[in-house]
Amino acid sequence: MKTKEKLSKVSEVVHYLYGCIRRWDGINDLLPGESELCRKFGFARGTVQRAVNGLMKSNYIIKKPGRHGLYINPEMAGLVPVAIGVVMNKGISEIVSGGSANAFAGFIKAVTAGADTEFIFHSLRETDFSSIYEMAVNNGVQGLFWVISRDDGSEGVQVFDAIAEKNFPAVTVGYSFDSRLETPRHNTVVRDYAELGKRLADFIRARGFTEPLFIGEDPCILSNFIDGFGREVTSFARDEDPDGKLVSMLNSKQYDCVISAGGFKRYAMLAKTMNANAYTRSLPVVLRDYYLTKRFAAENPALKIILMEELSAQAFMFKSGEAAGRMFLKLLKNPGLKLNNQSLKS
């Protein structure tokens, strides 16, 4: 752990010096000295020296004969990498979820495609979101990529909005599984839930199902499924079924398939319900493809499970990251610009 802490401290100093070099006015090429950097960050001299020595080896920093201090190498000033701050999983850098990782991979692909500059990515590990902007600026970060999760809540959205209002290049991928959650006002890739509902309707019709039962589906998706399907369908919104109502509904034999979405509790209820008897086991269960549904399928081999691979959650997060990357490049090239949120189809 101490090694990780030392590396992160060195990284802070490096990013700060990158920012100083990037902001060089072409006249004053003197950089803060080691003592000044130690005072600024509160770090030991050895930590600061490791950062300085690394930048000297890569020729960003030079010393001048007969003069004290650290200086910007003018030949390298225009080649400083663009530093992008990354906020994921509520600032806990050691933990990255599969969805966040896919979004970040898509973002990297988009911003680096055909780029004439190098990009470096700096994990901002601050769990106090109100400090994110200050931390980004102090570390010479030029923009932010933020994967807003359900755990970030309204606080994360409000902080992101405040950062965007400062005309700081910042983009985010909104939470992609619940249309009811709050999203930022600008610079955000959001899911087109209406389109997803219609695609689900197309999927069900194409397989000849006529009487689906929805379990726990997002209300926006459900209403647009109904529009696409052409008539009302029955839905069951609860995560638990202590009174056996869902089993009774299925045993009425009104339905020819079950469509479900949700988290662990809902899939646990679904497993118990669908394994209740031979008839319920015979009903096809239609699920969107992601890690929980794959596990559900593996743990319930007796059920007729259909995974909609074309609506894979991980593939969508990668696609969202790509869209956010393209949005970020626009912001980087147009200081002061704020972009309307982009609604992304599945």
- Mean of the pLDDT values across residues 289-293? 85
- The predicted-structure confidence for 50-73, as pLDDT tens digits, reads as follows 999 999 999 999 999 999 999 999
What does DSSP say about strands 234-236 and 212-215: parallel, antiparallel, or unpaired? parallel
Is the pLDDT at 312 greater than 70? The verdict is yes
127-131, 173-177, 214-218, 319-323: which is most confident:
319-323
- Mean of the pLDDT values across residues 279-297? 91
- For residue 99, what pLDDT band results from cuts at 50, 70 and 90? confident
Nearest to 324 by CA among 178, 108, 163, 114: 108
Locate tokens 């549904």: which residue? 293
Is the pLDDT at 317 greater than 50? The verdict is yes
The rounded percent of the chain whose pLDDT value lies above 90 is: 49
Question: What would the two tokens of residue 338 be?
Answer: 């704020």
Is the pLDDT at 6 greater than 50? The verdict is no
How much is the pLDDT for 90?
60
- Mean of the pLDDT values across residues 216-230? 87
CATH architecture of the domain 2-78 equals: Orthogonal Bundle (1.10)
Is the CB of residue 105 less than 8 Å from the CB of residue 320?
no
Domain 193-311 - what CATH class?
alpha beta
The rounded percent of the chain whose pLDDT value lies above 70 is: 93
- The predicted-structure confidence for 171-187, as pLDDT tens digits, reads as follows 999 776 677 888 899 99
Strand partners, 230: none
Mean residue pLDDT of the chain comes to 87
47-56, 228-237, 290-299: which is most confident:
47-56
Other CB atoms within 10 Å distance of the CB of residue 248: 11
- For residue 146, what pLDDT band results from cuts at 50, 70 and 90? very high
DSSP conformation letters of 205-221: HHTT--SEEEES--HHH
pTM passes above 0.75: yes
How much is the pLDDT for 127?
63
Domain ranges of the chain: 2-78, 83-173+315-344, 193-311
Phi, psi dihedral angles at 262 (to 5 degrees): 140, -170
Q: What sign has the CA pseudo-torsion 264, 269, 275, 279? A: negative
How much is the pLDDT for 179?
78
- For residue 2, what pLDDT band results from cuts at 50, 70 and 90? very low
How much is the pLDDT for 274?
93
- The predicted-structure confidence for 11-45, as pLDDT tens digits, reads as follows 788 888 988 888 888 889 999 999 999 999 999 99
24-28, 207-211, 267-271, 335-339: which is most confident:
207-211
Strand partners, 304: 284
**What is the CATH code of the structural domain delimited by 83-173+315-344?**
3.40.50.2300
- Mean of the pLDDT values across residues 189-215? 92
Locate tokens 């009774």: which residue? 248
Question: Would you say the CATH fold of 193-311 matches that of 2-78?
Answer: no
